[in-house]
Amino acid sequence: MAMIEVERLTKKYRDRTAIDALSFTIREGAIVGFLGPNGAGKSTTMKILTGFMPATEGKARVAGFDVFEQPLEAKRQIGYLPETPPLYPELTVRGFLKFVAELKAVPRAQVAKEIERCAAATGVTSELDRLNGTLSKGYRQRVGISQALIGNPKLLILDEPTEGLDPRQRNEVLQLIKGLSGKHTVVLSTHILAEVKAICEQVLIIHRGKIVADDTMAAITGGRENGLEEKFIQLTAN
């Protein structure tokens, strides 16, 4: 079953076209790398899929729900980490996760357990009683992912989840995402190819608002060591 179906999705900001008639499908349970140079339209696509902004034209469905026609149902299926982790600096990590659990209508009796689960999964258990505003960048990112996991959504959309992390943290976050495969469908955007190679099964490359590659990792690399880099540079050349 397809988790995401996108048909001819277009977004125009005044006279600039951010994404141009994108069409792709992502099957349930896949870990998909969403690649492209800076400004290619990755974040715009993610913002449309999560219902933050509407498209100018085209259709997008998440788990069978149209994101424009049935926004609340679609949003219930999604855990989203925006480019900047949406942390309220005045709240503690626990207070923040509790707030998110309430927004996502996690049953009252399960809230505490859900917070523990998501904090443990992202390694922030020891920081639960700190204020968000005092966290380091790495922890902010982790709390952001933790927040996306709350309510156990079917689909996780992570916009540059490893941005600003040190190599060790990067590795941990990647292992964490890899561990989610099977339980969740994960779409992550990045411009770091090594990360994609490490964990993704499907690769979408977007360039100047258009899809230039949509294939399995094996098909894109063709089995070569540097296959993904070569393909990426070749496809985004102009």
User: Site residues (CB under 8 A) for another protein?
Assistant: 13, 47, 50-54, 72-73, 75-76, 78, 80, 82, 84, 86-91, 95, 99-100, 102-105, 147
Cβ atoms 184, 158 nearer than 8 A: no
Judged by beta carbon, residue 95 or residue 227, the one nearer another protein is 95
Nearest approach in angstroms of CB 75 to another protein is 4
For the beta carbon of residue 103, count every other beta carbon within 10 angstroms. Answer: 12
Judged by beta carbon, residue 53 or residue 233, the one nearer another protein is 53
Judged by beta carbon, residue 149 or residue 205, the one nearer another protein is 149
CA triple 175-187-207, angle to 5 deg: 120
Cβ atoms 6, 23 nearer than 8 A: yes
Nearest approach in angstroms of CB 84 to another protein is 4
Nearest approach in angstroms of CB 186 to another protein is 16
Judged by beta carbon, residue 29 or residue 86, the one nearer another protein is 86
154: tokens are 């079917």
Nearest approach in angstroms of CB 85 to another protein is 8
Cβ atoms 221, 194 nearer than 8 A: no
Instruction: Give the C-alpha separation, 120 to 231, whole Å.
Output: 37
